[in-house]
Amino acid sequence: MDFLRTLGGWLRTLLAVIGGLLVLGIVALIAFGLTNRGAKIADQSILVMDLKGELPEYAASDFTTNLLGNATLTFKDQLDNLKKAAKDNRIKGVLVKLDSLGAGWAQVQELRDAFAEFHKSGKFAIGYSEAINERGYYLALALDNYYMPPTGFFEMNGLTTEITHWPGLLQKLGVGVQYFRYGKYKSQSGESLGRIALSEPVKEMINLNLDEEYSVFVKAVADGKKLSVEQVKQLIDSNLPNAEWALEHKLIDGIAYADEVESIIKKRIGVDADKNLEKVKASDYGQVALEDMGLNKGSNKVGIVYSVGLIVAGEGGGASPLSSGPSQGAEPIIRALQEAGKRDDIKAVVFRVDSPGGAGLGCDLVRRAVEQLAKKKPVIVSMGNYAASGGYWVSMDGTAIVADPLTLTGSIGIWSVIPNVEALNKNLALNVESFKRGNRADALSGNHPLNPENAKIFDQELLKSYQRFVQLAAQGRHKPLAAMQEIAQGRTWLGAHAQTLGLVDKLGGFDTAIALAAEKIKVTPNDISLEVLQKQESSLGTLLGQSATELILRAFGIERTAQKFKTPLSLDLLLEHHTFPLMEPVKVD
């Protein structure tokens, strides 16, 4: 016992010492962060926008990245950087790096519009990449010039989407699925899990959207390069994926390495060839306040609230196990909307939605919060790449909806897949014994399929959810129920098409939504200032509010045993989404 007491005392001392060192480290980090804040920008500078990867709509602030001044740039941060650069006399132009651009089509369209506005300042924007795809090239067409190295990879061979169907594999693994849906076009995501091939209505929907996206891309190339639509289509079908071919057909402005592009820029702004080009990273320029450039100084405050990724009930957050993207809990969104309603200084709200769907409960709770807020002040919905299924559910009660022409929206429908491992248990010689009270207590256990009676009950509940979705959409959009039933059916529409159907009000991006918010409160866009209303998810307070022991345990990946254990993908999670699971629109590359 003496040994154990001694060991315990030694461990407590060790943890206290480590905890003290941790606190000292935090203090040092604060000091370092405070002394390194503020971007140093020289005259004759070039803003460098490296658009590699996805452009997140919303990124929760992280304590350490905030201190060190390298927090993740959001999509709006990139747009704001262009606005600041247009007014900043120290910035002479922009160099846009387009390698591995992961932004969605709607975001790329919004960036094209932003560069068109930037060009009004008389400044230039030059693009460069070692490899480029159709989305990257769609953006490059909005720049003054675009260059590639001689061995660059130029991909312009058309648009495609591929859908993998899982039931065959699941069956081989001993996992059965029962597929339910309402809305004949609902959905490619559901059918990838519930069917071995797409139904004809879903094929029709995919082809229509693909035709519209392809037409937009082809027309942009034709307009940008002074070609006919047929000439562009011939080039696409004869594409050789190299820079020399692209230059031969005048699709790019020149062959140049990165250092040669810098020389081109230096000559353009009058910098001697033997001097360094002053470059400012977008992350550093993000530290320059809009107010320093005379922007965002209006006396009428407009709040910004984000709904990004799969919408789930509760606090949520983090990566979604049902998709490759993030998830977001309904509660933080609702709190932000309610805060906007309580604050007298918030005159209107722009609700930015970039979501392919989510859980029925979470989506409906957010919709209700939007509906209540819209009774007090204008709520302008701004749709990003996706605002479909649950993404449309949370949007439809806004005062007005703004979508990009290439936003994928609508998908007013319901689907669900109920898995079971009955065959897998048998294959593995697992014997499951069940004890229950209540005839349907084990209906959703996942150890056996739903029997006909339970399947009928589940199907009826799904039908009620679909009918409620359609009815609420009709009410929110002020359309007759019969008209909404006609355009619902789980069908996904591009924003431009959705506007003709009355599913959205105006076409445009963030700036269009902000201008509409200003119009609703009878001021000009210059008379407003913006404030993001979501709270930071990581802060010094939460960090210091934990014990040293807890911090050390977390550092080694150990959580307190009292916390709920979460499996990466459990039946409970699938069932949580059963009334409104993920509906991710077809991704087009």
Residue 533 clears pLDDT 90, i.e. is over it? yes
Question: pLDDT-derived band of residue 61, with 50, 70 and 90 as boundaries?
Answer: low
Q: What is the CATH number of the domain that holds 120?
A: 3.90.226.10
525 with 518: CB under 8 angstroms? yes
Q: Can you tell me the distance from the alpha carbon of 145 to that of 139, in angstroms, rounded to the nearest whole number? A: 11
Determine what percent of the chain is predicted with pLDDT higher than 70.
80
Co-location of 273 and 307 in the same domain: no
104 with 139: CB under 8 angstroms? no
Co-location of 368 and 496 in the same domain: yes
Q: Structure tokens of 449?
A: 């399929």
Residue 581 clears pLDDT 80, i.e. is over it? no
Q: Can you tell me the distance from the alpha carbon of 553 to that of 547, in angstroms, rounded to the nearest whole number? A: 10
Which range (223-232, 319-328, 338-347, 479-488) has the least confidence? 319-328
Residue 173 clears pLDDT 70, i.e. is over it? yes
Number of folded domains in the chain? 2
Q: Structure tokens of 148?
A: 């590639």
Q: Can you tell me the distance from the alpha carbon of 35 to that of 341, in angstroms, rounded to the nearest whole number? A: 38
Question: pLDDT-derived band of residue 399, with 50, 70 and 90 as boundaries?
Answer: very high
Which range (25-39, 136-150, 348-362, 477-491) has the least confidence? 25-39
Residue 151, helix vs strand vs coil: coil
Q: Can you tell me the distance from the alpha carbon of 192 to that of 188, in angstroms, rounded to the nearest whole number? A: 6
Question: How open is the CA angle 553-559-563, to the nearest 5 degrees?
Answer: 150
How does pLDDT run across 262-305, given as a tens digit for each residue? 999 999 999 999 999 999 999 999 999 999 999 999 999 999 99
DSSP 356-402: -BB-HHHHHHHHHHHHHHHTTS-EEEEEEEEEETHHHHTTTTSSEEE
Give me the long-range contacts of 216-219 (CB less than 8 A, separation at least 24): 216/405, 216/406, 217/134, 217/138, 217/159
> Of 124, 123, 108, 128, nearest to 50 (Cα)?
128
The answer as to whether 49 is a domain residue is yes
Residue 53 clears pLDDT 80, i.e. is over it? yes
Query: How many other C-beta atoms are found inside a 10 Å radius of the C-beta of residue 99?
Result: 17
Whole-angstrom CA distances from 432 to 282, 422, 425, 428 are 57, 9, 8, 11
Q: Can you tell me the distance from the alpha carbon of 84 to that of 89, in angstroms, rounded to the nearest whole number? A: 10
Q: Can you tell me the distance from the alpha carbon of 168 to that of 427, in angstroms, rounded to the nearest whole number? A: 16
Q: Which domain holds residue 514?
A: 298-576
186 with 426: CB under 8 angstroms? no
In this predicted model, which residue has the larger pLDDT, 517 or 550? 517
State the pLDDT at residue 59: 76
Question: pLDDT-derived band of residue 8, with 50, 70 and 90 as boundaries?
Answer: low
Q: What is the mean pLDDT of residues 552-572?
A: 34
Residue 352 clears pLDDT 90, i.e. is over it? yes
300 residue type, one letter: N
Co-location of 310 and 392 in the same domain: yes
Question: pLDDT-derived band of residue 329, with 50, 70 and 90 as boundaries?
Answer: very high
Residue 559 clears pLDDT 50, i.e. is over it? no
Q: Can you tell me the distance from the alpha carbon of 235 to that of 322, in angstroms, rounded to the nearest whole number? A: 38
State the pLDDT at residue 1: 52
Q: What is the mean pLDDT of residues 568-572?
A: 32
Query: How much is the pTM?
Result: 0.86
Co-location of 358 and 255 in the same domain: no
State the pLDDT at residue 22: 59
Helices (H) and strands (E) in the chain, counts: 23, 20
Q: What is the mean pLDDT of residues 415-427?
A: 94
Co-location of 306 and 268 in the same domain: no
- Examine the residue annotation and report whether 389 is marked as an active-site residue of this protein: yes
Co-location of 256 and 329 in the same domain: no
Co-location of 261 and 310 in the same domain: no
> Of 236, 161, 152, nearest to 205 (Cα)?
161
Could you say which of 187, 189, 327, 389 is catalytic? 389
State the pLDDT at residue 549: 40
Co-location of 309 and 383 in the same domain: yes
The answer as to whether 33 is a domain residue is no
Q: What is the mean pLDDT of the chain?
A: 87
Co-location of 285 and 312 in the same domain: no
State the pLDDT at residue 9: 62
Q: What is the mean pLDDT of residues 487-513?
A: 98
The answer as to whether 534 is a domain residue is yes
Co-location of 254 and 334 in the same domain: no
In this predicted model, which residue has the larger pLDDT, 254 or 328? 254
How does pLDDT run across 449-477, given as a tens digit for each residue? 999 999 999 999 999 999 999 999 999 99
Query: How many other C-beta atoms are found inside a 10 Å radius of the C-beta of residue 3?
Result: 7
State the pLDDT at residue 187: 86
How does pLDDT run across 240-250, given as a tens digit for each residue? 999 999 999 99
Question: pLDDT-derived band of residue 6, with 50, 70 and 90 as boundaries?
Answer: low
Q: Can you tell me the distance from the alpha carbon of 575 to that of 178, in angstroms, rounded to the nearest whole number? A: 13
Co-location of 270 and 396 in the same domain: no
The answer as to whether 172 is a domain residue is no
Q: Which residues contact 275 (CB under 8 A, 6 or more apart)?
A: 266
State the pLDDT at residue 58: 86
Of the residues 261, 291, 321, which one is the last residue of a structural domain?
A: 291
96 with 126: CB under 8 angstroms? yes
Query: How many other C-beta atoms are found inside a 10 Å radius of the C-beta of residue 496?
Result: 16
Question: pLDDT-derived band of residue 64, with 50, 70 and 90 as boundaries?
Answer: very low
Co-location of 303 and 278 in the same domain: no
Residue 35 clears pLDDT 80, i.e. is over it? no
State the pLDDT at residue 552: 40
